[in-house]
Structures are given as structure tokens and as C-alpha cells.
Structure 1
Amino acid sequence: MPMPMPMPMPVTTTGIAANPVLRVPAAAPAEAAAHFRAALRFQTDVSDVAAALGSGDPGCVVLDCRSTASWNQGHIPGALHLPTALISERATELLDPSVPVVTYCWGPGCNGATRAALALAELGHCVKEMIGGFEYWVREGFAYETEQGTARRDADPLTAPVTEACGC
């Protein structure tokens, strides 16, 4: 049986095959730097949160915005529990507006941490979202608390380095 012919690449007006990555040109370096600098003002990751919490003086409050049942299933040690639906009525009594807040929810498929961060920002808090959420906290091998006590899983080698640090 003959092998099927590969599909031809789209051809640009110059006759060179179109690169799907560069179909929309990359931003100029200064524009890219501004974008990525801004992104880091709004987001942090689980490794940086773990390092901050491990320092003894994190300089921020880590806030789990999930339901009580989700909190009980597992949460980051030292995190404050405040479901998103309760932020408007309870944030003032629980949070110091001079201390930045890092929100987290389940994982990358959930925008609960984004909604919580928005609610807090609208109340005047400096806030960042922890990308990856609780899912990546656990997948990277960090300890978490449950109703039964503290637990930890081995790091998933597809999400975390098998050595001490990823080097980023």
C-alpha cells in the first residue's frame, strides 16, 4: 500500500512556507518586556509561594478561595480560608489591606483565584494570583494539610524537577 502524501505547508506570498508560530509576528522587545513585567505583577507560581512561606516571613497572605469541602480535602499549610462568595463581607475583618494577598483555587482549569483576586482588588487590596493552584502545589510535591493531617505526594516529574530546583 502506498504511503499517503504529506499535506503541503501553506505558502506565503514570498513562496516560503508559513510558520504557524509567527503567523502573528512576535512583539517588539520593549513591548514584550512591558507585557511580561506586567504579567509578573499579577501572577506568581507555586514554587515562589512555597519559597516565600518557607522563609518564615512571606510578606503576603496566601488565601484559599475554595469551598469548605474543598479546603477540608486539602489546602496549603498557613493559608487563610475565605471562599470567593464571602470576600465582600469578610475580607475587611480578616485581611490587613497593607499586606499583599496571593489567591489560589483548584488549578489551571479554574478561574476561581482570578475572581477572588478581582474581588480583593476592588476592595483595595494588592493581590496576585498563584498560577497552577492547589493542583500544582500538590503535583510539585509540596506538603498540604487535610482533615486527617499533613500529607505530601512525590513530585510529578512532568510538572516539577526531580532535582532540587528547576533553575528558572
Structure 2
Amino acid sequence: MNFSKKDVLLDQLAACHNDLSWFPTFLDSVQGLTAEQAGWRSDCSSHSIWQLTGHLTYWNEKWLSYFTGKETFITIGNNNDSTFEIKEEMNEENWKSAVDKLDAAFLEFRKVIADSPESKLDTHIPNYPDECPWWAAISNLCTHNAYHIGQIVLMRKQQGWTNK
């Protein structure tokens, strides 16, 4: 069976989003968490689940914006702490909204990839400093998602916040 780059990327995005495979999905990893739990940090140098959710939302939305041409790639530089900031009041409604926002970003990215021609994935990202095709950047984004989802799962386990 032959799989296209598009098939692989859609599978990676689904595995991070809501299609349980080798590791818990984002939606599974945050299921049943309260705002208080999502905002918990072991110390000031660590990130909370809420912060990780916001960080993932930022990067998924940013790369989706680049891919759709709504924004032109600019040098990212250091991954500064601003992508981890929680700007709203930490309550149940805002926590649900944060989860819904990343859920929507995953859904939109999957739709856009599915609707794009396979050939676009082989084109290089405009203004990217190296010759990087879209498929490579999106695959790396999925790895980034999986990494932070793993942090969320580990934090839940360490705190005894099971969701089953």
C-alpha cells in the first residue's frame, strides 16, 4: 500500500489531535481536567498544562497561517516565553475555550491539508532561510505537538489526575 505525504501528515495531525494511536491524543490528555489542574505548575521554571495548550495553539495557528498564505514566514528566532503566556482569567470557561481553540486549529489544519494539492507539500516555504518543503515543516510541527502532549500526560500521571 502506498501512502502519500498528505496521507502521512493527515495521520500525524490526527494522532496528535483525536485519533488514539501510539500515544494519547491532545483531547484525551486534557479530558476531565479542571481549570485549577490545567493551571498547576510544579515551580516557576516549569509550564502548566494550560500554558502548553496555549503554546501548541500558537504554533499550530502560526504554521496554518503560513501554509494558507495569510501570513508570510518570518524568522522565528528564539522560542520566547510569550507563546506560553496565559492572558485570560484562569477559570473553567476560559480553560474550555483554550482547549476548544486548539481543537479548532487541529481540525482546520487537517481540512486545509486534505483540500490542498499533494504538489503543494513539495514546494519550499517562501522566505524560509533554508530550502524546506512544506511536508517537512508540518511533520516537524506534529513532532512538536507530540512532545508537548507527552509532557501533559506525564504531568497528569505525576499528579494522579487520571482521566479514565
TM > 0.5: no
Larger Rg: 1
**What range describes the TM-score normalised by the shorter chain of this pair?**
under 0.3
Taking structure 2 as the reference length, the TM-score comes to 0.23
Give the structure, 1 or 2, with the largest relative contact order (CA under 8 Å, sep 6 or more): 2
Point out the structure with the larger helix share. 2
Taking structure 1 as the reference length, the TM-score comes to 0.23
Point out the structure with the larger strand share. 1
